[in-house]
A and B are shown apart, each in its own frame.
Chain A
Amino acid sequence: MKRLLSIEFQKIWKNKASRVLLLTYFVLLSFIALIASIKFSIGTFEIRIADQGIFNFPYIWHFNTYVAAFFKIFLAIVIVSMMANEYTYGTLKQNLIDGLSKKEFILSKFLVVASFTVASTVFVFIMSLILGFSFSSYNELSIVFTDLEYLLAFFIKLFAFFSFCLFLGILVKRSAFALGFLFVWFVAENIFYWIIKFVILGGDDKHKNFGDTIIQYFPIEAMSNLVKEPITRLSAIKTIENAVGGAQTAKDYSIHFSQISIVLVWTFIFILTSYYILKKRDL
């Protein structure tokens, strides 16, 4: 395993584009801390974001994992091009000829995916701890370590997404096309959702839940469902909402085991299909 990782990291680190993207990713992640310094004024009120409770434990776990997940696209590009390059340079063929088995090859790529995911999770964990201890109103350990399942959800979400990227890289063999395909897939999922909801079910409110039930099984939707948007959960926003639109129905922000299983099943499918494609394909 050490050997495979050392092979893969040499390939990634010596590539200038990948190196820049990797560094950019972690630098941007740490910029989440800068949200703390945002201030703006409404009339005579001066609002400082950090004082609105976004860095309060345990809410910070939810907020940071949600925001951090936006930057995953940087690593996605690294992963897709890492795989697609092996095809364009013909080095996949050469690696196999030099004595790497196809199994080892896939394994080494998934080790990279796993290390990226672990690194991101650890980074977000440490950053949240630091931010939390600096700004949170509550510092009791029991509160600090509540809701850590958001970190688990973040881990699974990233791992699934990167596996999806790797799968696309193997399937499509060209980085630009694979990233395009990712975007098309995302759009297609949404179109499919709206077709089900409005064309087939006629936009009838009675059937509203049916469309939502189906869409949650689609990979991208399932991944984004894992960590839901945290903004409306903020007490300040809730206050405004209540003032403007009366009482709101309670929204479910928690992470469900069923959602985690859907994403894990997809991850499993992506890994196995990648291996299957590589095994069957003549190079």
Chain B
Amino acid sequence: METILKISNLHKIFNKHLHAVKNVSFEIKKGNVYGILGPNGSGKSTTLGIVLNVVNKTSGDFEWFGGKVATHDALKKVGAIIERPNFYPYMTAKENLELVCKIKGTAFSKVDEKLELVGLLERKNDKFKTYSLGMKQRLAIASALLNDPEILILDEPTNGLDPQGIRQIRDIIKAIASQGTTILLASHLLDEVEKVCSHVVVLRKGEMLYQGTVHNMIENNSFFELKSKDMVRLKTVLDEQSFVENTIEEDGKLLVYLKQDIAAQDLNSHLFEQNIVLEHLVKRKNSLEEQFLELTKN
């Protein structure tokens, strides 16, 4: 599969002491939908800023489309919106998009087409400053799509929007993803990522904690919920087992996290041999949200 973006050992240190990105490496392949997850201040936006030419890297490397073209030329084939929509408030939507066309070297004919897509065609001759936040964000998406980009990068696209706005943006993203466009979505709305993305990269304090498919991230970390009469003994016995990572008591149940996978049936017979009879046995998988909180907790 064609590689669109390759990041290797990227570091960013702000003002000589704030280590915002630590040794991040990942690859974006064509056709997949990627999510970058991380709490606020985890280095998501900085990482995106570096590959988008607005933040200078401290060390490490990144290359677009196999590194054959200069970054700013590569960016003409990329559509990106970062944090908040940035346009000239005194220009109309149409004029703003025409300006982007001039920068990217695209034909003006795309302007109406993309405005139609995000439902702003009727308002195209209104000044940007008269737009609501939701409309501004949709205009930003139209602008990012102007050149029919190879990859669409969205940084917190639903930040600050009302439920209707969030829904509209999500529908647009889904529509774009279904056309086979590669998407890189930074967000902390996990259900959004879970629904849309096939792959995730998890960051915390600038460090990369996980990268891989959403499926694997959820699958790998199954755990047991156990309950028995003698909870103390249950805990001591399990803590001695080699396949157990750790155990946590929660709401009168013992949560058992595993180093290696074990079938529920095997666990049960194993405990029975130790004279422990279980009242409650459930094998569960974390939702992406739980998995994410688990990964990123200190």
Task: Please report A residues at the B interface, Cβ cutoff 8 Å.
Answer: 3, 6-7, 10-11, 14-16, 85, 89-91, 93-102, 104, 279-280, 282-283
Contact with B90, one of A3, A15, A94 (Cβ below 8 angstroms)? A15
In the complex, besides A93-B86, A96-B72, A97-B52, 8 extra interface pairs with C-beta distance below 8 angstroms are A11-B99, A89-B86, A97-B80, A98-B76, A100-B72, A101-B72, A282-B54, A282-B55
Flag whether B100 is at the interface (Cβ < 8 A). yes
Q: Which residue of A lies closest to B91 (CB)?
A: A14
Given A10-B95, A95-B103, CB of A282 within 8 Å of CB of B88: no
Q: Which residues from B are CB-within-8-Å of A16?
A: 90
Given A14-B88, A14-B90, A93-B82, CB of A101 within 8 Å of CB of B70: yes
Q: Which residue of A lies closest to B72 (CB)?
A: A101
Closest Cβ–Cβ distance, residue B99 to chain A (whole Å): 6
Q: Which residues from B are CB-within-8-Å of A3?
A: 102, 105
* Docked complex: B98-126 residues within 8 A CB-CB of A: 98-100, 102-105
Given A282-B56, A283-B49, CB of A100 within 8 Å of CB of B103: yes
Closest Cβ–Cβ distance, residue B291 to chain A (whole Å): 31
Q: Which residue of B lies closest to A282 (CB)?
A: B55
Q: Which residues from A are CB-within-8-Å of B49?
A: 282-283
- Bound-complex Cα distance A282 to B16 (A): 13
Flag whether B53 is at the interface (Cβ < 8 A). yes
Q: Which residues from B are CB-within-8-Å of A280?
A: 56
* Docked complex: B74-94 residues within 8 A CB-CB of A: 75-76, 78, 80, 82, 84, 86-91
- Bound-complex Cα distance A282 to B55 (A): 5
Would you list the 4 A-B pairs with minimal beta carbon distance, nearest first?
Answer: A90-B86, A101-B72, A99-B76, A94-B86
Q: Which residues from B are CB-within-8-Å of A85?
A: 88
- Bound-complex Cα distance A99 to B69 (A): 12
Q: In the complex the two chains form, is B54's CB within 8 Å of A97's CB?
A: yes
Q: In the complex the two chains form, is A89's CB within 8 Å of B95's CB?
A: no
- Bound-complex Cα distance A100 to B70 (A): 11
Q: In the complex the two chains form, is A99's CB within 8 Å of B75's CB?
A: yes
* A-B pairs under 8 A by CB, number: 80
Bits for B167-195, please: 1 = Cβ < 8 Å to A, else 0. Answer: 00000000000000000000000000000
Closest Cβ–Cβ distance, residue A261 to chain B (whole Å): 34
Q: In the complex the two chains form, is A98's CB within 8 Å of B54's CB?
A: no
Closest Cβ–Cβ distance, residue B140 to chain A (whole Å): 9
| Candidate in A11, A94, A101 with the most chain B CB atoms within 10 angstroms | A94
Q: In the complex the two chains form, is B55's CB within 8 Å of A97's CB?
A: no
Q: Which residues from A are CB-within-8-Å of B88?
A: 11, 14-15, 85, 89, 91
Q: Which residues from A are CB-within-8-Å of B86?
A: 89-91, 93-94
Flag whether B266 is at the interface (Cβ < 8 A). no
- Bound-complex Cα distance A15 to B70 (A): 32
- Bound-complex Cα distance A241 to B152 (A): 74
- Bound-complex Cα distance A7 to B104 (A): 11
Q: In the complex the two chains form, is B100's CB within 8 Å of A98's CB?
A: yes
Q: In the complex the two chains form, is A98's CB within 8 Å of B104's CB?
A: yes
Q: In the complex the two chains form, is B14's CB within 8 Å of A282's CB?
A: yes
Flag whether B73 is at the interface (Cβ < 8 A). yes
Q: Which residues from A are CB-within-8-Å of B103?
A: 7, 95, 98-100
- Bound-complex Cα distance A102 to B70 (A): 12
- Bound-complex Cα distance A99 to B101 (A): 10
- Bound-complex Cα distance A205 to B55 (A): 55
Q: Which residues from B are CB-within-8-Å of A100?
A: 72, 103
Q: In the complex the two chains form, is B99's CB within 8 Å of A96's CB?
A: no
Q: Which residues from A are CB-within-8-Å of B14?
A: 282
